[in-house]
Amino acid sequence: GLVTFRDGRVTFHDYGGLVDLAEFDPAYLDQTGPLLK
C-alpha cells in the first residue's frame, strides 16, 4: 500500500512509510555535503 504502479505512472500513497522502509537518509543529498567535495 505504499505505492501503486499503473499505466506507466507511480503514485506514492505513504511517502513516510516508503522512507522508513528504505531507511532513506535525505542528509546525503545535501549539496554542501561530502558528495560534492
More confident residue, 14 or 24: 14
pLDDT > 70 in the chain, percent: 78
pLDDT computed for residue 10 by the predictor: 94
- What is the spatial distance between Cα 21 and Cα 14, in angstroms, rounded to a whole number? 11
Q: What is the pLDDT of residue 13?
A: 95
Structure confidence at residue 32 as a pLDDT band (50, 70, 90): low
pTM over 0.75? The answer is: no
- According to DSSP, residue 11 is labeled E
Look at residue 33 and tell me whether its pLDDT is greater than 60.
Answer: no
Report the run of H or E that residue 6 belongs to, with start and end: strand 3-6
